[in-house]
Amino acid sequence: MKIAILPGDGIGTEIVAEAVKVLNVLDLKFEMETALVGGAAYEAHGHPLPESTLKLAKEADAVLFGAVGDWKYDTLDRPLRPEQAILGLRRHLGLFANFRPAICYEQLTHASSLKPELVAGLDILIIRELTGDVYFGQPRGRRTAVDGHFPGAEEAFDTMRYSRPEVERIAHVAFQTARKRNKRLTSVDKSNVLETFQFWKDIVTEVGKHYPDVALDHMYVDNAAMQLVKAPKKFDVIVTGNLFGDILSDEAAMLTGSIGMLPSASLNAGNQGLYEPSHGSAPDIAGKGIANPLATILSAAMMLRYSLNQAQAADRIESAVKAVLAQGLRTVDIHCDGNTKVGTRQMGDAVVTAITKTTIKS
């Protein structure tokens, strides 16, 4: 099992180190190789996704990714900005299906921005199409770029587009996933305004005829955003496009108490995947040892389950995270009175200890 380790920038190096620490106590044989990506790669190689990093990612069974970006790179021309690394990996690896679970652990109901009764027991999954939409449409209008900006430009545009095969394949993934859960799927669109999403809605409806056991409903994205904070437990599986999925999954993250708790998986047709926390590089807290590593550790658990066929090991990690939260250990983003505040390394060490104890008991 070959894993490409791409820590990236900011807190990426800190949180990935804790996930690697957790993987190393599982008594599984991994081949792990680390490479530069994002701003760190730009500094060393002049590009955020060097050929050597891309080659490693293509050869690996899975990629464990930290985060990329820093304010100091904002003046670079867009193709050289750190964020282009993640877009490039999605494109070159064909990572079209992004899974972002939003689970509110019992111990964190009071850390949510909503009332405990609204989020207690919350367990929803957002499936985001990842290689289409405006992020990969024809950019960006008439401009003369100077340091990545638009001095004196009269207009700019990005083209929203989807092809039938793109919508069909993400719809099949969503229906198949919903079938394994509670057999309920909500497709989120903006078909009342955008032709692209009338197209999306029509195709999702067609695909749904192949899954008569799954209840399908459609919802406009503005209503979905409202319902996520009004009655989030009405959802089970949500499928939507790239742009809407990006926004809604970050909104859903705050229902769980912190975006530092939200893992994600991005998969291609062969189940090769890139696994990363849903949060960013947070350069304002980088190097302070206070970042929450749990989203990255939980992303490693998703990696074991979806790409490496090690479901039992994934269960052990997830159980260890629950045990650590039950002990009252909290990083600053989820801390409240009565808990024990810990740093990044302490939280990682606690998860390792919890895994070791479960091994002894078994």
pLDDT value of position 258? 79
Known catalytic membership, residue 133: no
Choose the catalytic residue: 250, 315, 341, 349: 250
The verdict on whether 217 is a catalytic residue reads: no
Catalytic residue among 21, 135, 220, 233: 135
Catalytic residue among 55, 222, 288, 357: 222
Residue 190 appears among annotated catalytic residues? yes
The active-site residue out of 9, 61, 70, 246 is 246
250 is catalytic: yes
> Contact at 8 Å (CB) between 38 and 68?
yes
Q: In what order do the strands lie in the sheet with 2-8?
A: 31-34, 2-8, 62-67, 273-277, 263-267, 97-103, 123-129, 237-240, 184-189, 215-220
pLDDT by residue for the chain (362 residues), tens only, comes to 999 999 999 999 999 999 999 999 998 999 999 999 999 999 999 999 999 999 999 999 999 999 999 999 988 998 999 999 998 999 999 999 999 999 998 888 888 888 889 999 999 999 999 989 998 877 655 445 555 566 667 778 889 999 999 999 999 999 999 999 999 999 999 999 999 999 999 999 999 999 999 999 999 999 999 999 999 999 999 999 999 999 999 888 888 877 888 899 999 999 999 999 988 899 999 999 999 999 999 999 999 999 999 999 999 999 999 999 999 999 998 888 788 999 999 999 999 999 998 654 43
Domains of the chain by start residue, with CATH: 1-96+268-362 (3.40.718.10), 97-260 (3.40.718.10)
**pLDDT score recorded for residue 361:** 41
Annotated active-site residue in 42, 70, 162, 190: 190
Residue 220 annotated to the active site: no
